[in-house]
Amino acid sequence: MDSKSILFRSENIDFYADCPAPEEYYKLFLTTDWNNEYCFTKVEIEQSIRNIWYTISAYAGKELIGSGSILSDGIHHALIVNMIVHPDYQNQGIGTTILRLLVKKCRECKIRDIQLFAVENKCRFYKKFGFVARPDNAPGMQFK
Ligand SMILES: CC(C)(COP(=O)(O)OP(=O)(O)OC[C@H]1O[C@@H](n2cnc3c(N)ncnc32)[C@H](O)[C@@H]1OP(=O)(O)O)[C@@H](O)C(=O)NCCC(=O)NCCS
């Protein structure tokens, strides 16, 4: 990692607006239980991270310990996805910094509609940030 591209430094954690190395990202992804459902291969995970619009990566030294991404058309819609902080580093404010940098990017691009899906026990985390649940008469929907 080149120090010139560091977006933000907090104590011993560096935040970059870079796509992480696929191998590193795959390891971080597997710290969640998401692959129990999705069953992605390493190649598929690599493809997903390469194709994404914008990613913030957090490093402790050379180790990727956090990441979050935006899927977007660059002006109308942005969907914040794949917020992950390695379990050893959670509850230290790293996820909050990643989310702040992602929202900042959306604001800089004047994106009008910023959305995300929250698992129930993470609603508080996002609400503190200003996200609100969608109204009952306009729920998010998912193809099954
Ligand atoms: C969601 C996730 C990314 C949050 O990352 P994180 O680094 O733990 O987030 P933060 O540390 O900024 O905030 C988490 C909590 O720690 C608290 N916190 C922040 N800094 C803190 C500090 N220095 N000391 C103690 N607690 C702290 C925050 O207030 C927050 O509390 P809350 O959840 O009750 O609102 C992380 O839990 C994760 O990777 N989970 C697994 C994957 C997942 O579920 N992703 C989200 C899907 S919606």
Q: Is residue 11 very low, low, confident or very high in pLDDT (cuts 50, 70, 90)?
A: confident
What does the DSSP assignment read for 35-87?
HHHH---HHHHHHHHHH-SEEEEEEETTEEEEEEEEEE-SSSEEEEEEEEE-G
Q: Is residue 120 very low, low, confident or very high in pLDDT (cuts 50, 70, 90)?
A: confident
What's the confidence (pLDDT) of residue 32? Answer: 96
Class of domain 3-127: alpha beta
60: closest CA among 24, 103, 31, 32? 24
In whole angstroms, give the CA distance from residue 55 to residue 49: 8
Q: What is the pTM of this model?
A: 0.95
What's the confidence (pLDDT) of residue 1? Answer: 54
Q: What is the atom index within ligand 1 of the atom nearest the CA of 84? A: 39
Residue 26 catalytic? Answer: no
Rg (CA), the chain: 15
What are the pLDDT digits (tens) for 57-108? 999 999 999 999 999 999 999 999 999 999 999 999 999 999 999 999 999 9
pLDDT, mean over the chain: 94
Q: Above 60 in pLDDT, residue 139?
A: yes
What's the confidence (pLDDT) of residue 5? Answer: 80
What's the confidence (pLDDT) of residue 28? Answer: 97
Query: How many angstroms does the Cα of residue 80 sit away from the middle of ligand 1?
Result: 15
Q: Above 70 in pLDDT, residue 9?
A: yes
Cβ atoms 120, 39 nearer than 8 A: no
Helix axes 22-29, 42-51, angle to 10 degrees: 110
* Ligand 1 neighbours (beta carbon < 6 A): 32, 83-85, 90-96, 118-119, 122, 124-125, 128
Residue nearest to atom 8 of ligand 1 (CA): 90
Q: Above 60 in pLDDT, residue 2?
A: no
Q: Above 80 in pLDDT, residue 3?
A: no
Average pLDDT over residues 10-18: 94
Quick one: tokens of 62?
Answer: 């050379």
